[in-house]
Every structure is written in structure tokens, then in C-alpha cells.
Structure 1
Amino acid sequence: MADRDHVDEIDGAVRNLRARWRIASITSGWRFPSDWAVPEVDAVCGAALFRGDLAGALRNLGRSRAWTGAGLDETLYDVAALHAVLDRDSDADGLVSADPHAAPFAMLRAVAVGWADLTGDVPDRGATESFSGLATEGYLRVRLGEVYRRVTRIDPGAGEWPVLLAVSVDLSMVDGWSRPMAMVLVADVLRRVFDSGETTASLGCSTAVVLADRETAVAHRITSARRQIADRLRGDPQLVTAAHPEVRVHRLPDTLPAAHDLLHRIAGR
């Protein structure tokens, strides 16, 4: 009987935390209340209350949120709401202010990595940055090699060369976890705008690139990406100074070694 009482006590604690977290998340901007209560939520509550693998539970939650279509920004605020609730007394009403800047970096990183695992456009995790989910420079070089072999086999003068879109943000006035988070937000926008099999990659801590086909809609997509990135960065008080991204479109040079040199110049090396 005592064991049953203990189980009931655990279940009650999880239900209480889940209810308070849900209220805090919805009041902080969660858009679809009916989609919030996934099974991974209970796993996170149990880990947070009883010293379980919270990082692992948050990674699974991040994957679940991405699977149901939640954006990264919304997912991070959801975890910030959890932290705000945990930071209050157990009898608090859940009407707390979710502040991602107050939440521990480890919590935010875990859920962001999980989210990026599912949304990253490169299936090999070894070919992606662990936090932003962007492809590594090494993977981009592999893709460029494929492009040059394909185009030169068809006809170098046929006008089939893709373009390289480079997005750089000024992080000189940004510190702490906000620096990597800026690139997470940039990566999220680029994957949403360039969602037709393009390669999105990292060229350092403040520059991302997209290898995109030169087609009629690419100019519109570049303009849309610039606007959305600025809006996302401007919406974070810690990233306002980075909210004027430099966006440049580079024509690929005639040879692969010259393309590698271009990557070095874009990265500022």
C-alpha cells in the first residue's frame, strides 16, 4: 500500500508541474494549446522533479516539438516557461514570465539540439553543427565538389551554376549564450525559406551560407530571408545590435579550388 501511495505521490507531482508549465507556456505565447501536452512533456517533468536525465528528456522534447511543427523560437520559450515555473514555489499559479535569457544554457541547448536533429537537412549528424543544425564547412565542400562535377559534365557554359548566399551577423556587442543562439535563429529562418533541398551551412560563429539553384524565385526568397532574420533578431533584446544582417549573393567561380578560396573570404579568414 505504501508503494502505491508513493506512486500516486509521484504522479501527482508530475501532473502538478505539467499543469503549471502548460499555463506558463500558453501565457508566454504557445500558439496551439491542444498540441502542447505530448508524452515527452511528462518525461521532462519527471526528470526535472526526480533528478533524472533532464538533458536527454529535453532533447526528446525538442524532436517532438519539431515533429509537430513548432518553431525553434516557440520551443525555446516553452522551455523558458518550464524554468520559470521550476524557479518558483510549488504553490505558484503558473502566471510567470518566460525569459530565455534567464533559463540555463544547458536546458536551452538540449532542446535546441533535439529540435535541430529532426529539422536539419543533412541526415548524417557528423556533417552538422551540434547546436545550430547547419551543415559543416566540410560537408559544404563535398556538396560543392558534386556541383562542379555535375555542371562541368553537362556544359560549363549552360548557365546551370548555383549561387552562394552568405548571411553574416555582427556579434561584436553580443555575449553569453546569445551568441550561438543568434545563429540558431538564422539557421531556422534559412531552413524554412530554402526548403527545397538546398544546402545550408555554417562558416564560423557568425556566418551562414546557402547553396541554392539560380531560379526565378531565388531573389524573392533571399529578400524574404533577410527580412525574417532581421525580425527574429530584433525580437530578442539581447540581439538587437545584430539585427542588421549582411546578406550577399556570390556567383560561383569557374573552378572548385577558386570556390574553396571564396569560402575562406566569406568566412573572413
Structure 2
Amino acid sequence: MAAGWRFPSDWALPEVDSVCASVLMSGDLGGPLASLGRARAQAGSGLEETLGDLAALHAVLDGPPAPGGLIGANPDALPARLVRLIALGWAEASMDELAQVDVSERLTGLATEAYLAARLGEVYRRATRRGRCPSDDHLLIAVSVDLSEVTGWSRLLAMVLVADVLRGVFDGGESVAVLGPSVAVVLTEQEPGIAQRVSSARCMIGDRLSANDQLSSAARPLITSHRLPSTHDDARELLKHIARR
């Protein structure tokens, strides 16, 4: 873990299981590595970080740990074939994101992070034209659920339920997007009643998740409000920060 995979929640992917299974059974890593590259790109990881993850795995397989038990991950020591496989998968997913900027995320039906970033650009341009600060009129509401004890398809079901609640509560033209496997965000205008709607969303999400035995551990969502930064670039960085919660 110290050598790669900076965010522990990133381990909970079927693609990780497939790579590990192929390694243990001495199977072909071609398909699993390509799938892992796609999954890492879709999770917002850069190519450098993705290769670092692969280097950590390769270091474990390639030899004994250094004194003290730590593994030294060296991306430059990766075999060219492994780099090509995971990089092609990563690039394929990245190109898909570029080609589908305005497409909703398929599972939840919520907007993608790319669409939300474009929507934020509109908000900032309008604020500039009006001589106002975006934080005067808009805010981001982040919703994250703890899926650390949830496995398999139940993780996907959790976000489907969260998405359904957010669409129902924020149904007045707000932009509701998914930022990762366990995070959603709402771009909304600051208006009377927003606190009540946030409270309603928290209660409804908790009720939906607690009704399923496999999701009860995630039934206390973390919901936070964020004022928009002064620039669009800073707002995009804020989205990345929220996505990593």
C-alpha cells in the first residue's frame, strides 16, 4: 500500500480482483490489465498514477522486499508489454470521456464530472458578465457514502439509490453529477429552503440504504456544502478534491 494505490478505496474494484486472480493462477494478464487501466481512468487517476499502481504490483512479484519490508515501486522497471496493456486501456477510457462530455453516467443517470465542469464554466462566465462572484449565487453540495464494508453489486446499488433521492429532492434545474464510486455532487443556486432540502436528502438517503441489510453500514451519508472558489480552475480542483473523499 505504501508503494502504490494512494487511496485505499480504489482497491474495491472488480478489475483489481481480476488482475490478482490472473497473477495467482499464472493466467494471461492482457485483458485484466486493459480493464484495470480503463477503470483507473474512469476513476480520475492520471496515467502516471496508474503506472505507479502497476509498478507496485510488479515489485511485489519481481523479488523480495527491501530491508524493513517495504516494496520499492519503480515504473521504469516495468516490462514494456505490461505498460502497453494498461496504458491502452487507460487511453481508451480517457478518449471515451472526451467524446461523451454531455452524456450522463450510465449506471445512475446522473451527469458526468466532465459535464459538471462545463456547467461550472457557464456559471463563472455569467458571473463575470454580471460583475459578481460565483459564490454569491451558487454552491456545491457534496454527498458521499462510506462503502468500505460493502462489496460486489451492492456498491453499485448504493449509488443508484443515492442518485434517485438527489434527483427527487433537487428537481428544479440543479445539476446533479456523480464524481466517483461513492460520491455525488449538486450544483445549486443559493436560495431559501436549501438547508431543508439538504436535510431531507440526508434522511431519505439514510432510509433507503438502511432498508437493505447489505447497505446498512453506509446509511449515514456525509453531506457537506462548499462555496464556489473565485476562479473556474479552482472550482475544477475542488471537484477533484471532493471526488477523493
Specify if TM > 0.5.
Answer: yes
Q: Which runs of 5+ in 2 are unaligned?
A: 1-99
Q: Output the CA distance in 1 between the equivalents of 2:221 and 2:238.
A: 19
Structure number with bigger Rg:
1
Number of the residue aligned with 2:131: 155
1:161–1:252: 8 Å Cα contact kept in structure 2? no
Amino acid at match of 1:136: T
Does the residue aligned with 1:127 lie in a helix, a strand or coil?
coil
The equivalent position to 1:244 in structure 2, one of 181, 203, 220, is 220
Q: Output the CA distance in 2 between the equivalents of 1:266 and 1:175.
A: 22
The equivalent position to 1:178 in structure 2, one of 154, 170, 173, is 154
Superposition RMSD in Å: 1.7
The equivalent position to 1:265 in structure 2, one of 227, 241, 245, is 241
Q: Output the CA distance in 1 between the equivalents of 2:134 and 2:158.
A: 38
Q: Which runs of 5+ in 1 are unaligned?
A: 1-123
The equivalent position to 2:106 in structure 1, one of 127, 130, 143, is 130
Q: 1:207-249, CA deviations, whole angstroms, 9 ceiling, x for partnerless residues? A: 0000011001111101110110011001111100000100000
Amino acid at match of 1:196: G
Does the residue aligned with 1:200 lie in a helix, a strand or coil?
strand
Pairs within 5 Å for 1:67-216: 127-157=103-133, 160-216=136-192
1:136–1:201: 8 Å Cα contact kept in structure 2? yes
| TM-aligned CA deviation for residue 160 of structure 1 | 3.9
Aligned-residue identity in percent: 55
Amino acid at match of 1:186: V
Q: Output the CA distance in 2 between the equivalents of 1:211 and 1:182.
A: 21
Does the residue aligned with 2:180 lie in a helix, a strand or coil?
coil
| TM-aligned CA deviation for residue 157 of structure 1 | 4.3
| TM-aligned CA deviation for residue 253 of structure 1 | 0.4
Which has the larger displacement, 147-156 or 165-174?
147-156
Q: Output the CA distance in 2 between the equivalents of 1:263 and 1:126.
A: 17
In the TM superposition, structure 1's runs of 4+ consecutive aligned residues that sit over 2 Å from their partners are 157-161
Q: Output the CA distance in 2 between the equivalents of 1:158 and 1:215.
A: 14
Does the residue aligned with 1:163 lie in a helix, a strand or coil?
strand
